Amino acid sequence: MDKILVHGGRSLSGSVKISGSKNSALPILAATLLTREPCVISQVPDLSDIHYMLTILGELGCEVERASGVVKIKAETVGTEAPYDIVRKMRASVCILGPLLGREKQATVSLPGGCIIGDRPIDLHLRGFEALGAAVLVKSGNVKVLAPALKGATVTLRGKFGSTVLGTDNVMMAAVLADGTTIIDGAAEEPEVVDLARFLVAMGARIEGAGTHRIIIEGVKELHGAEHKIIPDRIEAGTFLVAAAICGNGVTLTRVEPAHLKAVTDPLMLAGFSIETGKDCITIKPGSTRRALKLDTLPYPGFPTDMQAQMCALLATTDGISVITENVFPQRYMHVAELKRMGANIELNGSTAVINGVGRLSGAPVMASDLRASAALILAGLSAENTTEINRVYHIDRGYESIDEKLNSLGAEIERVKA
Protein backbone atom coordinates (compact mmCIF):
# COMPACT_ATOMS: atom_id res chain seq x y z
CA MET A 1 0.00 0.00 0.00
CA ASP A 2 1.35 3.43 -0.96
CA LYS A 3 1.88 6.38 1.33
CA ILE A 4 2.57 9.99 0.43
CA LEU A 5 5.35 12.12 1.86
CA VAL A 6 4.84 15.88 1.61
CA HIS A 7 7.96 17.95 2.22
CA GLY A 8 6.62 21.32 3.32
CA GLY A 9 7.80 24.86 2.72
CA ARG A 10 7.78 25.00 -1.08
CA SER A 11 6.00 27.79 -2.96
CA LEU A 12 3.59 26.93 -5.78
CA SER A 13 3.46 28.76 -9.10
CA GLY A 14 2.64 28.08 -12.74
CA SER A 15 -0.39 26.44 -14.33
CA VAL A 16 -2.22 23.13 -13.98
CA LYS A 17 -4.84 21.47 -16.19
CA ILE A 18 -7.96 20.17 -14.45
CA SER A 19 -9.23 16.67 -15.26
CA GLY A 20 -12.75 15.58 -16.14
CA SER A 21 -15.26 15.34 -13.32
CA LYS A 22 -15.40 12.06 -11.40
CA ASN A 23 -18.89 12.79 -10.10
CA SER A 24 -20.08 13.47 -13.63
CA ALA A 25 -18.28 10.59 -15.34
CA LEU A 26 -19.57 7.82 -13.06
CA PRO A 27 -23.33 8.24 -13.72
CA ILE A 28 -22.69 9.03 -17.39
CA LEU A 29 -20.78 5.78 -17.79
CA ALA A 30 -23.66 4.00 -16.06
CA ALA A 31 -26.13 5.69 -18.43
CA THR A 32 -24.58 3.87 -21.39
CA LEU A 33 -26.52 0.83 -20.13
CA LEU A 34 -29.69 2.51 -21.45
CA THR A 35 -28.91 1.77 -25.10
CA ARG A 36 -27.70 -1.16 -27.16
CA GLU A 37 -25.79 1.20 -29.44
CA PRO A 38 -22.16 2.30 -28.89
CA CYS A 39 -21.39 5.39 -26.81
CA VAL A 40 -18.13 7.37 -26.74
CA ILE A 41 -17.26 9.35 -23.61
CA SER A 42 -14.21 11.64 -23.62
CA GLN A 43 -12.26 13.51 -20.93
CA VAL A 44 -12.79 10.58 -18.56
CA PRO A 45 -10.34 10.88 -15.62
CA ASP A 46 -7.94 8.06 -14.78
CA LEU A 47 -9.16 7.18 -11.28
CA SER A 48 -9.73 4.00 -9.31
CA ASP A 49 -13.47 4.79 -9.04
CA ILE A 50 -13.64 4.97 -12.84
CA HIS A 51 -11.81 1.62 -13.03
CA TYR A 52 -14.36 0.07 -10.67
CA MET A 53 -17.29 1.41 -12.71
CA LEU A 54 -15.85 0.08 -15.96
CA THR A 55 -15.25 -3.27 -14.26
CA ILE A 56 -18.90 -3.37 -13.17
CA LEU A 57 -20.03 -2.56 -16.71
CA GLY A 58 -17.80 -5.34 -18.03
CA GLU A 59 -19.25 -7.79 -15.50
CA LEU A 60 -22.73 -6.84 -16.72
CA GLY A 61 -21.75 -7.81 -20.27
CA CYS A 62 -20.73 -4.47 -21.82
CA GLU A 63 -17.93 -4.21 -24.34
CA VAL A 64 -15.52 -1.61 -22.93
CA GLU A 65 -12.54 0.05 -24.63
CA ARG A 66 -10.44 2.72 -22.94
CA ALA A 67 -7.51 4.79 -24.19
CA SER A 68 -6.16 8.30 -23.47
CA GLY A 69 -9.20 9.53 -21.57
CA VAL A 70 -11.70 8.18 -24.11
CA VAL A 71 -14.04 5.32 -23.23
CA LYS A 72 -16.13 3.41 -25.78
CA ILE A 73 -18.96 1.28 -24.41
CA LYS A 74 -21.42 -0.99 -26.17
CA ALA A 75 -24.11 -2.57 -24.00
CA GLU A 76 -25.81 -4.78 -26.57
CA THR A 77 -26.89 -7.35 -23.99
CA VAL A 78 -26.60 -6.80 -20.26
CA GLY A 79 -27.07 -8.69 -17.04
CA THR A 80 -29.08 -7.25 -14.18
CA GLU A 81 -27.03 -8.16 -11.11
CA ALA A 82 -23.85 -6.43 -9.89
CA PRO A 83 -21.57 -8.44 -7.57
CA TYR A 84 -20.69 -7.37 -4.05
CA ASP A 85 -16.92 -7.83 -4.53
CA ILE A 86 -16.85 -4.81 -6.86
CA VAL A 87 -19.78 -2.75 -5.64
CA ARG A 88 -18.48 -2.66 -2.04
CA LYS A 89 -15.51 -0.55 -3.15
CA MET A 90 -17.50 2.40 -4.47
CA ARG A 91 -20.74 4.00 -3.33
CA ALA A 92 -21.46 5.50 -6.76
CA SER A 93 -21.97 1.99 -8.16
CA VAL A 94 -25.56 2.34 -6.92
CA CYS A 95 -26.19 4.55 -9.96
CA ILE A 96 -26.45 1.48 -12.20
CA LEU A 97 -29.83 0.75 -10.59
CA GLY A 98 -31.65 3.47 -12.54
CA PRO A 99 -30.49 2.58 -16.06
CA LEU A 100 -30.91 -1.17 -15.51
CA LEU A 101 -34.43 -0.62 -14.15
CA GLY A 102 -35.25 1.65 -17.08
CA ARG A 103 -33.96 -0.75 -19.73
CA GLU A 104 -34.43 -4.24 -18.26
CA LYS A 105 -37.18 -3.43 -15.74
CA GLN A 106 -35.17 -5.07 -12.99
CA ALA A 107 -31.83 -4.81 -11.21
CA THR A 108 -30.05 -6.29 -8.20
CA VAL A 109 -27.14 -4.40 -6.66
CA SER A 110 -25.31 -4.95 -3.38
CA LEU A 111 -25.56 -2.10 -0.92
CA PRO A 112 -22.64 0.18 -1.80
CA GLY A 113 -19.42 1.06 0.00
CA GLY A 114 -17.06 4.03 -0.46
CA CYS A 115 -15.91 6.76 1.92
CA ILE A 116 -16.87 6.70 5.59
CA ILE A 117 -18.19 10.25 6.00
CA GLY A 118 -21.43 9.64 7.84
CA ASP A 119 -24.88 8.36 7.01
CA ARG A 120 -25.62 8.36 3.26
CA PRO A 121 -28.73 6.20 2.80
CA ILE A 122 -30.23 5.42 -0.58
CA ASP A 123 -33.82 5.54 0.64
CA LEU A 124 -34.59 8.53 -1.60
CA HIS A 125 -33.41 6.57 -4.67
CA LEU A 126 -35.71 3.70 -3.73
CA ARG A 127 -38.64 6.00 -2.98
CA GLY A 128 -38.24 7.43 -6.48
CA PHE A 129 -38.23 3.98 -8.08
CA GLU A 130 -41.36 3.02 -6.14
CA ALA A 131 -43.11 6.17 -7.38
CA LEU A 132 -42.38 5.02 -10.93
CA GLY A 133 -44.07 1.69 -10.20
CA ALA A 134 -41.18 -0.52 -9.13
CA ALA A 135 -41.24 -2.98 -6.27
CA VAL A 136 -38.22 -2.68 -3.96
CA LEU A 137 -36.74 -5.45 -1.83
CA VAL A 138 -33.75 -4.96 0.48
CA LYS A 139 -32.48 -8.31 1.76
CA SER A 140 -29.16 -9.94 2.67
CA GLY A 141 -27.19 -6.83 1.79
CA ASN A 142 -28.73 -6.51 -1.68
CA VAL A 143 -31.21 -4.09 -3.22
CA LYS A 144 -33.56 -5.56 -5.83
CA VAL A 145 -35.90 -3.39 -7.91
CA LEU A 146 -38.48 -4.89 -10.25
CA ALA A 147 -41.19 -3.38 -12.45
CA PRO A 148 -43.27 -4.98 -15.20
CA ALA A 149 -43.53 -1.45 -16.58
CA LEU A 150 -42.46 2.01 -15.45
CA LYS A 151 -44.98 4.85 -15.47
CA GLY A 152 -44.24 8.54 -15.15
CA ALA A 153 -45.00 10.12 -11.79
CA THR A 154 -44.20 13.07 -9.56
CA VAL A 155 -41.22 12.22 -7.37
CA THR A 156 -39.99 14.27 -4.43
CA LEU A 157 -36.28 13.91 -3.62
CA ARG A 158 -35.88 16.39 -0.78
CA GLY A 159 -33.96 14.75 2.03
CA LYS A 160 -33.06 15.63 5.59
CA PHE A 161 -29.85 17.35 4.49
CA GLY A 162 -30.98 18.58 1.07
CA SER A 163 -31.35 17.06 -2.36
CA THR A 164 -29.60 13.85 -3.38
CA VAL A 165 -27.33 14.06 -6.42
CA LEU A 166 -27.06 10.33 -7.11
CA GLY A 167 -30.74 9.91 -6.31
CA THR A 168 -31.63 12.57 -8.90
CA ASP A 169 -29.33 10.83 -11.40
CA ASN A 170 -30.84 7.42 -10.70
CA VAL A 171 -34.47 8.47 -10.97
CA MET A 172 -33.76 10.53 -14.08
CA MET A 173 -32.10 7.55 -15.80
CA ALA A 174 -35.00 5.24 -14.95
CA ALA A 175 -37.62 7.79 -16.00
CA VAL A 176 -36.26 8.47 -19.50
CA LEU A 177 -37.67 5.10 -20.63
CA ALA A 178 -40.85 5.22 -18.52
CA ASP A 179 -44.29 5.63 -20.05
CA GLY A 180 -45.51 9.20 -19.64
CA THR A 181 -44.20 12.26 -17.80
CA THR A 182 -42.04 12.23 -14.70
CA ILE A 183 -41.54 15.34 -12.56
CA ILE A 184 -38.67 15.34 -10.07
CA ASP A 185 -39.32 17.91 -7.34
CA GLY A 186 -36.47 18.77 -5.02
CA ALA A 187 -33.97 17.71 -7.67
CA ALA A 188 -30.28 18.29 -7.09
CA GLU A 189 -29.04 21.33 -9.05
CA GLU A 190 -25.36 20.37 -9.32
CA PRO A 191 -23.50 20.80 -12.64
CA GLU A 192 -22.90 17.05 -12.67
CA VAL A 193 -26.67 16.44 -12.87
CA VAL A 194 -26.84 18.89 -15.77
CA ASP A 195 -23.98 17.06 -17.51
CA LEU A 196 -25.79 13.72 -17.20
CA ALA A 197 -28.98 15.30 -18.56
CA ARG A 198 -27.04 16.66 -21.55
CA PHE A 199 -25.74 13.18 -22.31
CA LEU A 200 -29.20 11.63 -21.98
CA VAL A 201 -30.65 14.28 -24.31
CA ALA A 202 -27.87 13.49 -26.82
CA MET A 203 -29.08 9.87 -26.62
CA GLY A 204 -32.62 10.93 -27.49
CA ALA A 205 -34.15 11.58 -24.06
CA ARG A 206 -36.56 14.46 -23.45
CA ILE A 207 -35.53 16.39 -20.34
CA GLU A 208 -36.21 19.96 -19.24
CA GLY A 209 -35.19 21.83 -16.11
CA ALA A 210 -31.88 20.14 -15.30
CA GLY A 211 -29.94 22.51 -13.05
CA THR A 212 -33.11 23.61 -11.25
CA HIS A 213 -35.04 22.01 -8.38
CA ARG A 214 -37.71 20.76 -10.82
CA ILE A 215 -36.85 18.40 -13.69
CA ILE A 216 -39.47 17.29 -16.22
CA ILE A 217 -38.89 14.09 -18.21
CA GLU A 218 -41.03 12.87 -21.10
CA GLY A 219 -40.46 9.15 -21.47
CA VAL A 220 -39.36 7.75 -24.84
CA LYS A 221 -39.45 4.18 -26.14
CA GLU A 222 -35.70 3.82 -26.71
CA LEU A 223 -32.40 5.67 -26.71
CA HIS A 224 -29.54 5.58 -29.18
CA GLY A 225 -25.76 5.88 -28.94
CA ALA A 226 -24.07 9.25 -28.48
CA GLU A 227 -20.74 11.00 -27.93
CA HIS A 228 -20.12 13.23 -24.93
CA LYS A 229 -17.30 15.18 -23.24
CA ILE A 230 -17.23 15.20 -19.44
CA ILE A 231 -17.21 18.62 -17.73
CA PRO A 232 -14.14 19.68 -15.71
CA ASP A 233 -13.97 18.52 -12.10
CA ARG A 234 -14.98 21.49 -9.94
CA ILE A 235 -13.84 19.78 -6.73
CA GLU A 236 -10.38 19.04 -8.11
CA ALA A 237 -10.25 22.65 -9.29
CA GLY A 238 -11.34 23.91 -5.86
CA THR A 239 -8.69 21.75 -4.21
CA PHE A 240 -5.95 23.29 -6.36
CA LEU A 241 -7.31 26.78 -5.65
CA VAL A 242 -6.98 26.10 -1.92
CA ALA A 243 -3.49 24.62 -2.42
CA ALA A 244 -2.50 27.84 -4.19
CA ALA A 245 -4.07 29.87 -1.39
CA ILE A 246 -2.08 27.98 1.24
CA CYS A 247 1.35 28.41 -0.33
CA GLY A 248 0.99 29.83 -3.83
CA ASN A 249 2.69 32.74 -5.52
CA GLY A 250 0.35 32.92 -8.51
CA VAL A 251 -1.25 29.74 -9.88
CA THR A 252 -3.49 29.39 -12.95
CA LEU A 253 -6.01 26.59 -13.41
CA THR A 254 -6.88 25.74 -17.02
CA ARG A 255 -9.75 23.68 -18.46
CA VAL A 256 -12.20 24.81 -15.79
CA GLU A 257 -15.76 26.18 -15.68
CA PRO A 258 -15.44 29.36 -13.56
CA ALA A 259 -19.22 29.58 -13.07
CA HIS A 260 -19.16 26.17 -11.34
CA LEU A 261 -16.59 27.44 -8.83
CA LYS A 262 -18.14 30.67 -7.53
CA ALA A 263 -19.00 28.99 -4.23
CA VAL A 264 -15.25 28.46 -3.73
CA THR A 265 -13.78 31.56 -5.39
CA ASP A 266 -16.13 33.97 -3.59
CA PRO A 267 -15.01 32.85 -0.08
CA LEU A 268 -11.38 32.88 -1.20
CA MET A 269 -11.79 36.51 -2.27
CA LEU A 270 -13.41 37.30 1.08
CA ALA A 271 -10.39 35.69 2.72
CA GLY A 272 -8.14 38.19 0.95
CA PHE A 273 -6.97 36.41 -2.21
CA SER A 274 -6.95 37.89 -5.71
CA ILE A 275 -9.00 35.87 -8.21
CA GLU A 276 -9.03 36.48 -11.97
CA THR A 277 -11.25 34.43 -14.29
CA GLY A 278 -11.23 33.85 -18.03
CA LYS A 279 -13.44 31.77 -20.27
CA ASP A 280 -11.95 28.47 -19.10
CA CYS A 281 -9.25 29.49 -16.60
CA ILE A 282 -8.85 30.91 -13.10
CA THR A 283 -5.76 32.59 -11.60
CA ILE A 284 -5.31 32.98 -7.85
CA LYS A 285 -2.71 35.24 -6.25
CA PRO A 286 -1.97 36.06 -2.61
CA GLY A 287 -3.41 39.27 -1.20
CA SER A 288 -1.96 41.64 1.38
CA THR A 289 -3.73 39.90 4.29
CA ARG A 290 -5.44 36.57 4.86
CA ARG A 291 -8.73 36.79 6.75
CA ALA A 292 -10.77 34.28 8.76
CA LEU A 293 -14.08 33.03 7.33
CA LYS A 294 -17.50 31.79 8.36
CA LEU A 295 -18.74 29.05 6.02
CA ASP A 296 -21.79 26.79 5.82
CA THR A 297 -21.79 23.78 3.50
CA LEU A 298 -24.92 23.55 1.39
CA PRO A 299 -26.09 21.80 -1.77
CA TYR A 300 -25.12 23.53 -5.03
CA PRO A 301 -24.89 26.47 -5.58
CA GLY A 302 -23.81 26.73 -1.94
CA PHE A 303 -20.35 25.98 -0.59
CA PRO A 304 -19.70 22.28 -1.37
CA THR A 305 -19.31 19.72 1.37
CA ASP A 306 -16.59 18.15 -0.79
CA MET A 307 -14.45 21.28 -0.18
CA GLN A 308 -14.99 21.51 3.57
CA ALA A 309 -11.92 19.49 4.61
CA GLN A 310 -9.62 21.39 2.24
CA MET A 311 -10.87 24.72 3.55
CA CYS A 312 -10.20 23.51 7.10
CA ALA A 313 -6.56 23.03 6.06
CA LEU A 314 -6.36 26.61 4.76
CA LEU A 315 -8.11 28.20 7.74
CA ALA A 316 -5.96 26.23 10.21
CA THR A 317 -3.12 28.67 9.48
CA THR A 318 -5.23 31.79 8.91
CA ASP A 319 -5.10 34.41 11.69
CA GLY A 320 -8.31 34.78 13.64
CA ILE A 321 -11.24 32.48 14.38
CA SER A 322 -13.00 30.77 11.49
CA VAL A 323 -16.23 28.79 11.77
CA ILE A 324 -17.41 26.04 9.42
CA THR A 325 -20.82 24.39 9.79
CA GLU A 326 -21.34 21.12 7.93
CA ASN A 327 -24.99 20.95 6.85
CA VAL A 328 -24.78 18.14 4.29
CA PHE A 329 -22.89 15.37 6.12
CA PRO A 330 -22.75 16.57 9.76
CA GLN A 331 -20.33 13.80 10.77
CA ARG A 332 -17.79 14.64 8.06
CA TYR A 333 -14.97 15.76 10.34
CA MET A 334 -12.66 12.76 10.59
CA HIS A 335 -9.83 14.89 9.15
CA VAL A 336 -9.95 17.22 12.16
CA ALA A 337 -8.17 14.81 14.50
CA GLU A 338 -5.37 14.39 11.95
CA LEU A 339 -5.02 18.14 11.41
CA LYS A 340 -4.78 18.55 15.19
CA ARG A 341 -1.90 16.06 15.17
CA MET A 342 -0.16 18.57 12.92
CA GLY A 343 -0.78 21.39 15.39
CA ALA A 344 -4.12 22.80 14.21
CA ASN A 345 -6.37 24.37 16.84
CA ILE A 346 -9.84 23.10 15.95
CA GLU A 347 -12.75 22.43 18.27
CA LEU A 348 -15.85 20.53 17.20
CA ASN A 349 -19.30 21.37 18.50
CA GLY A 350 -21.70 19.00 16.81
CA SER A 351 -21.65 19.83 13.10
CA THR A 352 -19.64 23.03 13.62
CA ALA A 353 -15.86 23.38 13.60
CA VAL A 354 -14.31 26.40 15.29
CA ILE A 355 -10.82 26.99 13.89
CA ASN A 356 -8.36 29.25 15.70
CA GLY A 357 -5.59 29.91 13.21
CA VAL A 358 -2.01 29.11 14.18
CA GLY A 359 1.18 30.41 12.63
CA ARG A 360 2.28 27.16 11.04
CA LEU A 361 1.57 23.44 11.15
CA SER A 362 4.18 20.75 11.78
CA GLY A 363 4.65 17.66 9.67
CA ALA A 364 3.50 14.41 11.33
CA PRO A 365 2.37 10.89 10.44
CA VAL A 366 -1.36 11.09 9.68
CA MET A 367 -4.06 8.72 8.45
CA ALA A 368 -6.43 9.47 5.56
CA SER A 369 -10.02 8.52 6.39
CA ASP A 370 -11.76 9.41 3.14
CA LEU A 371 -11.21 11.00 -0.27
CA ARG A 372 -11.47 14.70 0.60
CA ALA A 373 -9.73 14.25 3.96
CA SER A 374 -6.78 12.82 2.02
CA ALA A 375 -6.63 15.97 -0.08
CA ALA A 376 -6.86 18.19 3.00
CA LEU A 377 -3.91 16.42 4.64
CA ILE A 378 -1.79 16.86 1.50
CA LEU A 379 -2.69 20.56 1.40
CA ALA A 380 -1.89 20.96 5.09
CA GLY A 381 1.48 19.34 4.51
CA LEU A 382 2.40 21.75 1.70
CA SER A 383 3.25 24.59 4.09
CA ALA A 384 3.94 22.58 7.25
CA GLU A 385 7.39 22.37 8.80
CA ASN A 386 9.32 19.23 7.89
CA THR A 387 7.61 16.20 6.32
CA THR A 388 4.01 15.02 6.54
CA GLU A 389 3.51 11.28 6.08
CA ILE A 390 0.02 10.39 4.83
CA ASN A 391 -1.08 6.77 5.08
CA ARG A 392 -3.99 4.95 3.37
CA VAL A 393 -3.72 7.16 0.29
CA TYR A 394 -5.76 4.75 -1.83
CA HIS A 395 -8.59 7.15 -0.98
CA ILE A 396 -6.89 9.96 -2.92
CA ASP A 397 -6.66 7.85 -6.08
CA ARG A 398 -10.44 7.46 -6.05
CA GLY A 399 -10.99 11.10 -6.94
CA TYR A 400 -7.78 12.89 -7.95
CA GLU A 401 -5.87 12.11 -11.13
CA SER A 402 -2.12 12.25 -10.35
CA ILE A 403 -2.52 14.91 -7.65
CA ASP A 404 1.07 14.41 -6.49
CA GLU A 405 2.48 14.86 -10.00
CA LYS A 406 0.32 17.92 -10.67
CA LEU A 407 1.36 19.60 -7.42
CA ASN A 408 5.02 18.76 -8.09
CA SER A 409 4.70 20.44 -11.49
CA LEU A 410 3.76 23.62 -9.58
CA GLY A 411 6.81 23.41 -7.29
CA ALA A 412 5.72 21.11 -4.46
CA GLU A 413 7.93 18.27 -3.25
CA ILE A 414 5.79 15.18 -2.83
CA GLU A 415 6.87 11.54 -2.90
CA ARG A 416 4.75 8.44 -3.29
CA VAL A 417 6.43 5.46 -1.65
CA LYS A 418 5.52 1.91 -0.70
CA ALA A 419 4.38 1.63 2.91
User: Can you tell me the distance from the alpha carbon of 54 to that of 295, in angstroms, rounded to the nearest whole number?
Assistant: 36
Q: Which residues are catalytic?
A: 115
Q: What string of DSSP letters covers 172-228? A: HHHHTTSBSEEEEET----HHHHHHHHHHHHTT-EEE-BTBSEEEEE--S-----EE
User: Distance between alpha carbon 334 and the CA centroid of its chain, in Å?
Assistant: 18
Please name the amino acid found at residue 130.
E
Helix H segments across 251-294? 262-270
User: Can you tell me the distance from the alpha carbon of 233 to that of 190, in angstroms, rounded to the nearest whole number?
Assistant: 12
User: Can you tell me the distance from the alpha carbon of 371 to that of 374, in angstroms, rounded to the nearest whole number?
Assistant: 5
Please give the angle made by the CA atoms of 31, 36 and 174, to the nearest 5 degrees. 35
Helix H segments across 273-333? 308-315
User: Can you tell me the distance from the alpha carbon of 294 to that of 297, in angstroms, rounded to the nearest whole number?
Assistant: 10
- The DSSP symbol for 20 reads B
Handedness of CA 119, 27, 238, 277 (dihedral sign): negative
Long-range contacts of 259-263 (CB under 8 A, 24+ apart): 260/191, 260/231, 260/232, 260/234, 261/234, 261/237, 262/301, 263/300, 263/301, 263/302, 263/303, 263/304, 263/307
User: Can you tell me the distance from the alpha carbon of 44 to that of 39, in angstroms, rounded to the nearest whole number?
Assistant: 13
- H or E segment to which residue 325 belongs: strand 321-325
Nearest to 274 by CA among 282, 264, 284: 284
